[in-house]
Amino acid sequence: MPIVTIDDKTIDVAEGTTILDAAAALGIEIPTLCYLKGYEPSTSCQVCLVKDRKRNLMLPSCATRIVDDMQIDSETEEVHTMRRTSLELLFSDHVGDCLAPCFFACPAHMDIPLMLEQIGEEQVEEAIATVKRDIALPAVLGRVCTKPCEKGCRRKGADGAVAVCELKRFVADTDLTRPEPYTPPCKPDTGKKVAIVGAGPTGLSAAFYLQQEGHHCVLFEKAPLAGGRLRTDTDPDVLPPRVLDAEIQQTLRIGAELHPNCLVENLDDLDIEFDAILLACGQLTEEQSTSWGIKSTKRGIDIDKETLQTSRNRVFAAGSCLRAKSLYVRSVADGKLAAAAMNEFLLGQPITPPVSRFSSRIGALQADEAHQLAEASGHAARSLPTPGSEYSPSQAMAQADRCFSCGCISHGSCKFERIAIQYAADPTRFAGERRAVEVIHRPGGIQFEPHKCIKCELCIQIAARGGESLGLSFVGRGFDVELGVPFDHQIEQGIARTAAACVAACPTGALVFSREHQRMVKLESGNRVNKDAIQ
Amino acid sequence: MGTEISQLELDLEPVEHIVNQVGRKIDSVVPILQAIQQHYRYLPEAALRRVCELTEISPAQITGVSTFYEGFRHRPQGRHLLSVCHGTACHVNGSGMIQDAVEQALNLEPGADTDSDNRFTVVRAACFGCCTLSPVIRIDQETYGHLTAQDIPSTLGDFLQTASRPAFPWESGSDQQKGASRRNLNGDRKRDEIHIGLDSCCVAQGCGKVYGALADVLQATGADVKLKQVGCQTMCHQTPLVEIVPANGPATFYARVKPENARDLVLQHFRPRGVARRVGHWLSRQIDRWHSDEVDSPLQQHRLDMRQGSVCKFLGRQKHIATEHYGRLNGLDIDEYILSGGFQALRTCLTGKEPSAIIDDVRRSGLRGRGGAGFPTYRKWEMMSQQESPVKYIICNGDEGDPGAFMDRMLLESFPYRVIEGMIIAARAVGAHQGFLYIRAEYPAAVRQMSTALERCRKHGLLGERVMDTEFRLDLSIKQGAGAFVCGEETALIHSIEGGRGTPRVRPPYPVESGLWGKPTLINNVETYSLLPWIFRNGADAFAELGTESSRGTKVFALAGKVVRGGLIEVPMGVTVREIVEEIGGGVAPGRRFKAVQIGGPSGGCVPAELADTPVDYESLAAVGAIMGSGGMVVLDDTDCMVDIARFFLRFTQNESCGKCTFCRVGTKRLLDIMDRICTGKGRSGDLKQLEQLSGMVSAGSLCGLGKTAPNPVLSTLRHFREEYEAHLHGRCPAGKCQELIHYEISRDCIGCTLCAQHCPTDAIPFTPYQQHKIVDDKCIRCDTCRTVCPESAVIITSGESPTALSCLS
């Protein structure tokens, strides 16, 4: 029985064992994309490379059998660099957005596609939960936001962006008109207390999220009413005070305390009473911050960008006190970030710096690509409610249906994405000319996006083994090789019997079941469960 | 619907016929596709569907295979197929301009490959192996060499005028010659002979026409002379080369003979038969004399003295083993081969030596694989002989695909029996009883020669149930490639024979353990096999005495590019690059500076002139960043841009990548992106670092040799010519090659002759007689025509606002 060393651990294995299996037996997880147990290793992705130190060779671990005296490196920087490079090369020819561009365009990173999908499904209650996961004041922002999300919307290039902001307002307003508006789930009281100086958009947002984590928040506001610059700098016709009040109320409803007319002159008192302090009071003079014992620059309070902490212990700062006034949505986003950092601090955990989310990105769409996607999405023209009026629910649905659903269906369950995050791959490192985007919807709910295919060969093998009469095959060779169906047939004909297995095996989002199909299946299985329950 | 209609229209009877002839198994797919394409001139979908109905071949298989190989067309093709060769030698001699000129002459729409009259379909070919004739195009079976952009319209016209003639007139006469040689063998009577090389590159050079003219003259004069087609004469720079071999007395050579010289040539040496003919001959000579004072001089110009310096130098350092008796044998004449010692080695191995002794001899000879990597041949054989499988296969790898290499083609065409003999010896040593010669489709003449040779071997009892009347049995047959360089990789080659896409797989297991259809399989290169007969006739020690300590014996090289005497040479290992380039090759053209030699093709690298004293052996070449490779040797001078050369090879490998593994499929593409940027003046400061890093990872991470060696041309030029890369980053191509970085200008030397203006295909030069001409840069397509037609060398190429090597002699 051959003996092998992997990362200095030794194991003897049965004749014919692959390095991948031997490593697994030693508890070393080697990533793979194109490998599926039981199928011939295609050795295409080369993400499973390991190094045989003895022979100074990089080997695909999925297909290489152990021979005696191999000395394998798996978790070394050299091997990881190879794996990362392989991922990065694959990304350079993988045309897709893990996350929709609007996700990155929105400073608060709201899950816009999900909200739109929920509106389209008449699930306004779910939609408000989606919105409020990232935006504490949606009814307010729905009126005063400058809508960076719509500038990032892919449909803008076809026939006008999706009316994201108005739809968000529709969701929030609908919620507020209900007798019992949405209340986010709050964790049990942690006994920790947070002082928030300033009840403007940043402070209110921070309080909204800290309360949900079980920390008790007290907002100190120098003005008689909360709202900060939302109240002072906005046109009451655009943002009626009743809307602002109603939305502030949602934060107070979950336990935050508001002390109006309360000017904080020094922090020492607060320091004694509270476990942490958040400065969300807008621009401070340098003098004032110095008197509070907090370092600042000309721009504003100086914070550690990774932890949002000021130079004074237990004091955090966010929003306009860091910089000149910025977008309201930026302030709301800041409040959420501060809440996250402070929560970790209060729980005694190390503060994780805000990270930019991983995503492969298509970049700008060509006009014909955008039109093709528009054809496959809701056909309504972009329309905004006339000032003073609201969308009707059916109008909102039609508008929400205009969404291209740019984010990938496989986002979150995609192996390629998961390993790329694990290896900190940079999807833009080898950017080159990209393939055309073409989303092919086929009967049976099959959605094929050839531009995302990484040529792993799994579906080809599954179709062949599954006895498909047509099957799938590679067409062409080299860089231009594509997945194809013989004789110009459609994809569902190539995988008539094996569609589910092929979709399940696809390591990325090239071959998927469409969202509608997935919903339908869920609905049917739900019905079945209900029927079973009745019987 | 469209396909159903066409299926109704298309006569599918021939498909059934083809399937009945070729077979219905999975591994019949390539020959079936080839036959279908030959019949319909492309692969109609309806025909492919029919194949799936009639055979074990699945739709997925036929789709995958028929789109993998470059030789298969899925769209109808024009009446004639015009291939522009883009091999290394052709590239450095301007194949890009030839391609442009062809497209322009045929008025091809952008993206179209067939002209509107449906006469010509234009394709790019990787390499025809006619490197010494570069640049070359091939129209159907006709090859045209030494072309310039201006020649293209007339070449097309010439082709269309003569398109009706039979393809290979000399082949029909082979039987008669066979009879002649038989008489010779029996010692009846020794005859005067005229030898002419009819290798495919000789034919391209016009030997076929000379052969025809000589045959006509011989017929007319009735001279008692045997006109004999021989194999490669190796001196490609002298072809058409005619050798007059009298029954008694020394031979006379005539170089670069033209068909119109045929009559003089025959009459100079041989008397016409019959009184009337003699009188006629005498009369015509008198009339010629009367018309001209120097009747003999035109012929004298072609006469080549074999003791002359240049010939001696060309041949001096050579040692002919694989090419033994070059230029003397008719490749297909088995009796002649036997008479010159052929199959003696085989007899020794079959009757006088045990397999283990054969392997031991190979070990003592020091023979290493000539396919490129140089793996010790005996070790492969030993591993193979240890396999305890009742079924073993032997394969001859004739998928020579390196642009710039044509040794294997020449050996297959000129010495088919030698290759076969070597294979039988190897088969006997390792216990294989079935074998295949895998020959690339771009070598039709090699396939024809080899099939005939195999047939004759079977008739002579050299193949079959009892080889040379011994217990040993062996059958050999030919498998044709279909246009995929990667099939030179042994596991890809095996997949190709099995009827799959030619993709490699991870090794181990090596083919000697599990190869063709899972059985132990020995794969050696053409040249390796063809060295064996000599080794067993002259002894392993005699072979080992040649060459160097680690690299024994000789190596055949295809010497081409910017060298005065190009050709096929066989030299003992250890001669230096300088000896090859300067002594054998006669150096570069006068006025030019020898810059580098590219050795090993797309897997190899460049040896710069400063390192020209590097001995040619496996280790020394590797040490300077090149490789022995299969033997392409392209000489480069100061007008060649090293960055462009590196990009050329990278583009080749990138195009030939099978697409299986990430590092090769995407990695080579990204490397090429960077090279394209650099060559077009869009290079960025970090590009060289990125090139080096990514090159290293593509080498380390690719699955097979193609990807592992693909970055070599880039790495070796970066190593020896980094300053040229840097110049490109600053917008300057010192050699004057990279089109986006150069400008054509006309200097004050212009006499206003208007030739350039007349020839300019895009009217970029206003017609201004007696005045200095000017080139409108926006209209100029850098076709180089003006520079080649200018009688005053007044057209100069500038780059980065200074003249380039192409416009001044160094």
Are the C-beta atoms of residues B439 and B398 closer than 8 Å to each other?
Answer: yes
Mean pLDDT of B792-809: 83
Structural domain contains residue B168? no
- Domain count for chain B, please give it: 6
Structural domain contains residue B632? yes
Block residue for tokens 């932890």: A307
Confidence check: pLDDT of B171 > 60: no
Query: Hey, which residues 613-632 in chain B have their CB within 8 Å of chain A?
Result: none
Tell me the β-bridge partners of B397: B438, B525
pLDDT of residue A533: 62
Return the H-helix or E-strand segment holding A369: helix A367-376
Residue ranges in B657-775 assigned as alpha helix (H): 662, 668-679, 687-701, 705-709, 712-720, 722-729, 755-759
Look up the CATH number of the domain holding residue B587. Answer: 3.10.20.600
Considering only CA atoms, which of B201, B194, B234 is closest in space to residue B215? Answer: B194
Confidence check: pLDDT of B167 > 70: no
Q: Note whether B45 contacts A: Cβ–Cβ < 8 A.
A: yes
Averaged confidence pLDDT in chain A: 94
pLDDT of residue B326: 87
pLDDT of residue A413: 94
Are the C-beta atoms of residues B534 and B554 closer than 8 Å to each other?
Answer: no
Structural domain contains residue B244? yes
Together in a domain, B667 and B755? no
Together in a domain, B413 and B473? yes
Confidence check: pLDDT of B248 > 90: no
Q: B286 vs A514, which has greater pLDDT? A: A514
Structural domain contains residue B26? yes
Chain A residues touching residue B654 (CB < 8 angstroms): 478-479
pLDDT band at A532 (very low <50, low <70, confident <90, very high): low
Per-residue pLDDT reduced to its tens digit, B632-675: 899 999 999 999 999 999 999 999 999 999 999 999 999 999 99
Together in a domain, B25 and B120? no
Percentage of the residues of chain A whose pLDDT score is greater than 90: 84
pLDDT of residue B163: 62
HSE-up (13 A, CA, CB side) for residue B210 = 29
pLDDT of residue B406: 86
Structural domain contains residue B589? yes
Confidence check: pLDDT of B285 > 80: no
pLDDT of residue B555: 95
Closest alpha carbon within chain B to A472: B60
pLDDT band at B808 (very low <50, low <70, confident <90, very high): low
In order of their start, the domains of chain A are: 3-83 (3.10.20.740), 193-346 (3.50.50.60), 435-522 (3.30.70)
Tell me the β-bridge partners of B560: B634
Distance from CA of A409 to the nearest CA of B (A): 24
Q: Which two tokens stand for residue A331?
A: 């302030």
Q: Note whether B501 contacts A: Cβ–Cβ < 8 A.
A: yes
Together in a domain, B345 and B438? yes
Provide the 10 A C-beta neighbour count for residue B777: 11
Are the C-beta atoms of residues A11 and A26 closer than 8 Å to each other?
Answer: yes
Provide the 10 A C-beta neighbour count for residue B470: 13
Together in a domain, B715 and B791? no
Together in a domain, B354 and B207? no
Report the alpha-carbon distance of residue B311 to residue A419 in Å, rounded.
64
Return the beta strands (E) in A350-457 as ranges. Answer: 440-442, 446-448
DSSP B292-358: -S-TTHHHHHHEE-TTSHHHHHHHHT---STTTTTTTS-TT-HHHHHHTTTTHHHHIIIII--HHHH
Report the alpha-carbon distance of residue B795 to residue B775 in Å, rounded.
9
Asked if A477 lies within 8 A of B657 by C-beta distance, the reply is yes
Mean pLDDT of B588-612: 93
Taking the alpha carbons at both ends of chain B, their separation in whole angstroms is: 65
Look up the CATH number of the domain holding residue B436. Answer: 3.40.50.11540
The lowest-confidence range among A315-329, A450-464, B691-705 is A315-329
pLDDT of residue B187: 44
Together in a domain, B382 and B526? yes
Asked if B60 lies within 8 A of A42 by C-beta distance, the reply is no
Confidence check: pLDDT of B753 > 60: yes
Confidence check: pLDDT of B174 > 80: no
Mean pLDDT of B711-732: 96
Chain A residues touching residue B48 (CB < 8 angstroms): 487
Asked if A475 lies within 8 A of B48 by C-beta distance, the reply is no
Distance from CA of B6 to the nearest CA of A (A): 13
Distance from CA of B571 to the nearest CA of A (A): 33
Asked if A477 lies within 8 A of B658 by C-beta distance, the reply is yes
Asked if B666 lies within 8 A of A85 by C-beta distance, the reply is no
Distance from CA of A493 to the nearest CA of B (A): 12
**A409 three-state secondary structure:** coil
Mean pLDDT of A9-13: 92
Chain B residues touching residue A464 (CB < 8 angstroms): 58, 60
Return the H-helix or E-strand segment holding B802: strand B802-803
Q: Which two tokens stand for residue A296?
A: 């600042």
Asked if B670 lies within 8 A of A471 by C-beta distance, the reply is no
Closest alpha carbon within chain A to B659: A478
Instruction: Give residue B52's domain range.
Output: 2-68
Chain A residues touching residue B655 (CB < 8 angstroms): 478
Which of B64, B506, B667 is closest, CB to CB, to A60? B506
Chain A residues touching residue B58 (CB < 8 angstroms): 464, 471
Asked if B700 lies within 8 A of A58 by C-beta distance, the reply is yes
pLDDT of residue B761: 87
Are the C-beta atoms of residues B483 and B449 closer than 8 Å to each other?
Answer: no
Block residue for tokens 């008479």: B339
Q: Which residues contact residue B362 at a Cβ distance below 8 angstroms, ignoring those fewer than 6 apart?
A: B377, B378, B381, B429, B532, B535, B540
Percentage of the residues of chain A whose pLDDT score is greater than 70: 99
Q: Note whether B667 contacts A: Cβ–Cβ < 8 A.
A: yes
Report the alpha-carbon distance of residue A377 to residue A401 in Å, rounded.
7
Asked if A479 lies within 8 A of B68 by C-beta distance, the reply is no
The lowest-confidence range among A388-397, B251-260, B294-303, B743-752 is B294-303
Q: Which two tokens stand for residue B360?
A: 């031991």
Closest alpha carbon within chain B to A85: B697
SS (H, E, C) B143-154: EECCCCCCHHHH
**A93 three-state secondary structure:** coil
Q: What is the ipTM of this complex?
A: 0.90
Confidence check: pLDDT of B183 > 70: no
Asked if A86 lies within 8 A of B663 by C-beta distance, the reply is yes
Asked if B701 lies within 8 A of A484 by C-beta distance, the reply is no
Per-residue pLDDT reduced to its tens digit, B505-535: 998 889 999 999 999 999 999 999 999 999 9
Q: Which of B29, B505, B666 to mutate to test the interface with A (most CBs of A within 10 A)?
A: B666
Q: A531 vs B369, which has greater pLDDT? A: B369
Q: Note whether B26 contacts A: Cβ–Cβ < 8 A.
A: no
Considering only CA atoms, which of B19, B15, B22 is closest in space to residue B43? Answer: B15
Compute and round to an integer the Cα radius of gyration of chain B: 27
Per-residue pLDDT reduced to its tens digit, A72-85: 999 999 999 999 99
Which of A81, A86, A487 is closest, CB to CB, to B45? A487
Mean pLDDT of B307-333: 85
Of B20, B38, B68, which one is at a domain's C-terminal end?
A: B68
Averaged confidence pLDDT in chain B: 89
Return the H-helix or E-strand segment holding A128: helix A124-132
Confidence check: pLDDT of B185 > 50: no
Distance from CA of A18 to the nearest CA of B (A): 12
Kindly state the DSSP code that residue B108 receives in the 8-state scheme: P
Tell me the β-bridge partners of B44: none
Distance from CA of A411 to the nearest CA of B (A): 22
Of B285, B305, B325, which one is at a domain's C-terminal end?
A: B305
Long-range pairs of B494-499 with CB within 8 A, sequence gap ≥ 24: B494/B395, B494/B521, B494/B523, B496/B30, B496/B438, B497/B27, B497/B395, B497/B436, B497/B438, B498/B26, B498/B27, B499/B25, B499/B26, B499/B27, B499/B28, B499/B29, B499/B30, B499/B57, B499/B61, B499/B65
Structural domain contains residue B173? no
pLDDT band at A535 (very low <50, low <70, confident <90, very high): low
Q: B8 vs A173, which has greater pLDDT? A: A173
Which of B62, B64, B701 is closest, CB to CB, to A82? B701
Chain A residues touching residue B651 (CB < 8 angstroms): none
Structural domain contains residue B498? no
Of B690, B708, B729, which one is at a domain's C-terminal end?
A: B729
> Phi, psi at residue A259, to the nearest 5°?
-110, 95
The lowest-confidence range among A9-23, A294-308, B308-322 is B308-322
Asked if B662 lies within 8 A of A45 by C-beta distance, the reply is yes
Report CA B171 to chain centroid distance, whole Å: 21
**A158 three-state secondary structure:** helix
Closest alpha carbon within chain B to A18: B508
Which of B63, B506, B658 is closest, CB to CB, to A64? B506
Together in a domain, B571 and B433? no
Percentage of the residues of chain B whose pLDDT score is greater than 70: 91
Which of A49, A65, A486 is closest, CB to CB, to B63? A486
Considering only CA atoms, which of B223, B176, B225 is closest in space to residue B196? Answer: B225
Q: B521 vs A297, which has greater pLDDT? A: B521
Q: Note whether B651 contacts A: Cβ–Cβ < 8 A.
A: no
The lowest-confidence range among A162-171, B198-207, B343-352, B382-391 is B198-207
Confidence check: pLDDT of A280 > 70: yes
Which of B655, B660, B666 is closest, CB to CB, to A93? B666
Q: Which of A473, A489, A490, A495 to mutate to test the interface with B (most CBs of B within 10 A)?
A: A473
Mean pLDDT of A484-497: 95
Distance from CA of B59 to the nearest CA of A (A): 6
Which of A58, A86, A455 is closest, CB to CB, to B659? A455
Asked if A473 lies within 8 A of B669 by C-beta distance, the reply is no
Q: Note whether B665 contacts A: Cβ–Cβ < 8 A.
A: yes
Closest alpha carbon within chain A to B72: A476
Question: What is this structure's pTM?
Answer: 0.90
Taking the alpha carbons at both ends of chain A, their separation in whole angstroms is: 57
Together in a domain, B706 and B770? no
Together in a domain, B583 and B702? yes
pLDDT band at B470 (very low <50, low <70, confident <90, very high): very high
Structural domain contains residue B696? yes
Mean pLDDT of B769-779: 95
Together in a domain, B532 and B561? no
Are the C-beta atoms of residues B150 and B785 closer than 8 Å to each other?
Answer: yes
Look up the CATH number of the domain holding residue B294. Answer: 3.40.30.10
Query: Hey, which residues 677-696 in chain B have their CB within 8 Å of chain A?
Result: 694
Report the alpha-carbon distance of residue B65 to residue B440 in Å, rounded.
16
Per-residue pLDDT reduced to its tens digit, B32-77: 999 999 999 999 999 999 999 999 999 999 999 999 999 999 998 8
Q: Which of A19, A80, A89 to mutate to test the interface with B (most CBs of B within 10 A)?
A: A89
* Contacts A–B by Cβ distance under 8 A: 131
Together in a domain, B435 and B368? yes
Distance from CA of A451 to the nearest CA of B (A): 14
Q: B513 vs B230, which has greater pLDDT? A: B513
